[in-house]
Every structure is written in C-alpha cells, then in structure tokens.
Chain A
Amino acid sequence: DTGVSQNPRHKITKRGQNVTFRCDPISEHNRLYWYRQTLGQGPEFLTYFQNEAQLEKSRLLSDRFSAERPKGSFSTLEIQRTEQGDSAMYLCASSLSQRSYEQYFGPGTRLTVT
C-alpha cells in the first residue's frame, strides 16, 4: 500500500502526558500537512511542510504542539502536557507541491486524553 500511513491509530493518554504521532506520506510527495478534526467538525489546519521546511503554522497551534520533518520524508507531531481539549482525530495529508490541491489523507490518529 503506497498511501499515507499514520501511527499509532489510537492513543489514550492521561492529562499532562506527552504524546508523539508519526506520519509517512506518499513517497514522492514533498508536501505534508497536519490537520485536527473533532466530532461534527471539518478538519482544521495545523501546519504544513515542504520537504523539511515548516512553511506555515496555524495561530491556533499552541506552544505545546511541535512538528518536525527532519529529512523531508516522515513527520512527527508532538503534544506536550496534553489537555482534555486535545482529544481529537489528528490527520496527516500529503501532496506534490505542483499539485497541492490534491491532498491525500491518511487514516488518522485518534487521541483520547483522560
């Protein structure tokens, strides 16, 4: 399967703990996006990378969130000191820069903060 993959698929953590998610994009895609989706809402943009460069970060993203894409391939999203409001589905998508309108989403990581 050459689609976008995300790990883990589910994560349950206690408030205050740190969590890290991984996204592996489609191999030839140089753009990678992170979105967050809560129940009954559409995905909300968090940040995106072109190769290893983080080009945009949402103002909604607090300092507890950090994302990396160190070699321009896979990416990690870390949430420090998790809060119950962080409970959501975290979606990763990838695209080619010249076809950035075609974003392909991974299956997501569902985070539950207890």
Chain B
Amino acid sequence: QKEVEQNSGPLSVPEGAIASLNCTYSDRGSQSFFWYRQYSGKSPELIMFIYSNGDKEDGRFTAQLNKASQYVSLLIRDSQPSDSATYLCAVKFGANSKLTFGKGITLSVRP
C-alpha cells in the first residue's frame, strides 16, 4: 500500500524562526510531491510542488526532495503567525492522477 507519512508534530516555533516540516513516502515510483496548507475549517491550498531532487524556493518557502531517501520537506523562513495551519504532504504515484495525502502537521507560530 502506498503511504505518505507525516509523523512529527504538532510543531510550535517563535515568530521569525525557520519551521521545518518533514514527510516520507513508501513508493519509489512516486513522481511528484506537493505541499498544501489548510487553515482550520478551510479547504487545502497548494503552496509548493517539486519533481526533481534538490531544493525549490518560492518566497519564504523551500521544498526539498531526496528521492534516494524517499523524503520531502518544507522549510518556512521568517515564520509568521499567519503561517499557523496544518501542512499536508501529498504524493502522485507514477502516472496516476490522484493525490495521496499524509495526515498533516499542525504548525503554530508564536508571536
């Protein structure tokens, strides 16, 4: 069974710090990787996606992918209270169109 694990959390960081969120996946055939942000009571919102090994930066967000170790991470620099949310890791396996989500990590940024 293809799995996406997000086992750490909840995570609390002070405002201005770097928040590091991790995710591992089970299938080496996975092709693409996503981070969604979900505020309480709202629907998921795509913030980053990454296909290739290495880092991808977008503003204060950096996604890191290591296919050999089967993990993907999200770094949030200069964390703000508005970043407080649940962050969902999602994976597309092979050519399949559906997303498989982890259970999410709840981040709290303390003012």
Contact = CB atoms under 8 A, between A and B. Distances in A.
A74 interface: no
Interface residues on B, range: 20 to 34
A48 to B, nearest CB: 6
B97 A100 contact: yes
A110 B43 CA distance: 11
B102 A42 contact: yes
B34 A101 contact: yes
Interface residues of A, number: 22
Contacts of B88: 42-43
A48 B101 contact: no
Contacts, number: 51
Contacts of A55: 97
B101 A42 contact: yes
Contact of B92 (A31, A44, A48, A101): A101
Nearest to B101: A42
A42 B104 contact: yes
Interface stretch (B14-22, B44-52, B53-61, B71-79): B44-52
A107 interface: yes
Interface in A57-114: 91, 100-108
A33 interface: yes
Contacts of B99: 33, 35, 43, 45, 103
A103 B100 CA distance: 12
Interface of B: 4, 6, 32, 34, 42-46, 49, 88, 90, 92, 96-104
Interface of A: 31, 33, 35, 40-45, 48, 55-56, 91, 100-108
